[in-house]
Amino acid sequence: MRNLKFGVCLLALFAGAAPAGAETTILKNVTVIDGTGAPALPDAAIVMTDGKIAWVGPVSGLKAPKDAKVEDLSGKFVMPGIIDSHVHVGMMHDVTQDEKYETPQNVQADLKQYAAYGVTTVQVLGTDKDFVLEMRNQQRKSRPTVARIFSAGQGAVIKGGYGGLVGVTEPIATPEEGRKLVDEQAAKGVDFIKLWMDDERKTIPVKMPYSVSAAIIDEAHKKHLRTVAHIFYLDDAKELVREGIDGFAHMVRDQPVDAEFLDMMKAKGVWMVSPTLSREMAYSLAVMPWLNDPFFTRGVTPGTVAALRSMAREQAVVLGLTRFPGLPYEKKVFWDMDRTLFQTLENYQAMVKAGVKTGMGTDSGPNGRFPGFNAHEEMQLQVLAGRTPMDAIKSATHDNAEWLKDPMIGSIEKNKWADLLVLDKNPLDDIRNTETIAAVYMAGQPVPTIWTSCRDRAESQCPKRPADLPNMPY
């Protein structure tokens, strides 16, 4: 009897047959950009069975199961779903940021929006309520139709200092409290530990002391968790590398990175997880150039567009002092931000040239940075900084999956989840062509895209897709 069962198993194995009831969809006649940096494969097909990639290769080698659904996508391009390694979810209503908006409904809407823009996985850095971890757990047991979550739970903010989300993150004051926070987060099952070390250009008198960051990193490593730090200053970044930090959530922005720092990062394998070029870009633009671009306006609420276009915003944000919820001070948002943007781009170039491991992350979610939209901006800025479109795609897919240590996502390879972005135009010709979204697949299932759905309103109420994408909003 036992042998018989064994025999049946073997038979199934050798036949290579999909299990009974398997659901198979084939994307045919596409050019595959697999995310690994390998040359694009024209005239290709992807076989997706039960949400996973069962086969990828030239159409000439395709063996289609009889009952497979075949999509002829002649002329289109397929790349892996984008991974954004630095976001915050559910904290906004229009242009107002508050923890009370972090509801399951709003988080779900953000995750749906990420997927609509082709961002099929996000790493949330330190502002999650506990229910987000529960959502993540549910996703991992199923085939999600919205962006996959990696979560750093509630990050470490020093009392009176910069970072976190008031009402969600509980500030700490001592190394002991730092260790306690890590233990609590570890018990909740977070994927990473986040900490903030910044004083907003010396406008805040308190910054996380090195004794506290060292304790957090040490405790996290004891719990087998990696640590990611928000930084601004080169000196802090160097100290954190000495303390064993695993990755940075932003670029060094106060001065040029030096050889000592680059060597330290490489020697210890420290990642620039999310260079957040688009964040610095957003802060350098007093007037946003994309307010009439449907690729942007379809992805934000009507209230957001109205607020961003209003004269009141110009007066309050562009020239005046602004008080942000939770910050104990007012600041001129755009003051001196051009210099920060250029420093960020230069340091990004230096890290890439030196061979430091770099990912793609935007810090979208908070006010002024937009879920999904910013990921496309970020890749465009990588190219502006001198990378090839192929590199930008690789960093946003394969490399980010490497950082997350998730072998199931990030490239179009056999046995991985079929999280895919289908494009009308070739992103290798022009990285802005990632905006020509024809379809998005999450675990093998098509989901609404930014061109078939819009945020918080019926599709019929939204500006139409321009005929000549990508358009230049500037």
Cβ–Cβ under 8 Å, residues 199 and 162: yes
Buried b (16+ CB within 10 A) or exposed e, 17-35: ebeeeeebbbbbbbbbbbb
Residue number with CB closer to Zn ion (25 or 274): 274
Residue number with CB closer to Zn ion (126 or 178): 126
Residue number with CB closer to Zn ion (361 or 427): 361
Site for Zn ion in 206-235 (CB under 5 A): none
Collect contacts of 23-26 with beta carbons under 8 A, ≥24 apart.
Answer: 23/49, 23/50, 23/444, 24/48, 24/49, 24/50, 24/54, 24/65, 24/67, 24/68, 24/69, 25/68, 25/69, 25/70, 25/71, 25/444, 26/62, 26/64, 26/68, 26/69, 26/70, 26/71
- Span from 198-206, 215-223, 317-325, 355-363 in contact with Zn ion (CB under 5 A): 355-363
Per-residue contact flags (x/-) with Zn ion for residues 117 to 156, judged by CB under 5 A: --------x-------------------------------
Per-residue contact flags (x/-) with Zn ion for residues 357 to 386, judged by CB under 5 A: ------x-----------------------
* Shortest spacing between CB 196 and Zn ion, in angstroms: 9
From CA 346, how far away is CA 334, in angstroms rounded? 19
* Shortest spacing between CB 249 and Zn ion, in angstroms: 6
Closest CA to 356 of 426, 259, 289: 259
* Shortest spacing between CB 97 and Zn ion, in angstroms: 12
* Shortest spacing between CB 271 and Zn ion, in angstroms: 15
Closest CA to 358 of 386, 332, 333: 386
Count of residues in contact with Zn ion, rule CB under 5 A: 2
Largest interatomic CA distance in the chain:
81
* Shortest spacing between CB 449 and Zn ion, in angstroms: 26
Residue number with CB closer to Zn ion (125 or 454): 125
- Tokens 């697949």 label which residue? 441
Residue number with CB closer to Zn ion (161 or 470): 161
* Shortest spacing between CB 53 and Zn ion, in angstroms: 31
Dig out the tokens for 25 from the structure: 């969809």
Dig out the tokens for 412 from the structure: 């179009």
From CA 174, how far away is CA 181, in angstroms rounded? 11
* Shortest spacing between CB 207 and Zn ion, in angstroms: 17
- Span from 186-194, 306-314, 356-364, 452-460 in contact with Zn ion (CB under 5 A): 356-364
Which residues lie near Zn ion (CB under 5 A)? 125, 363
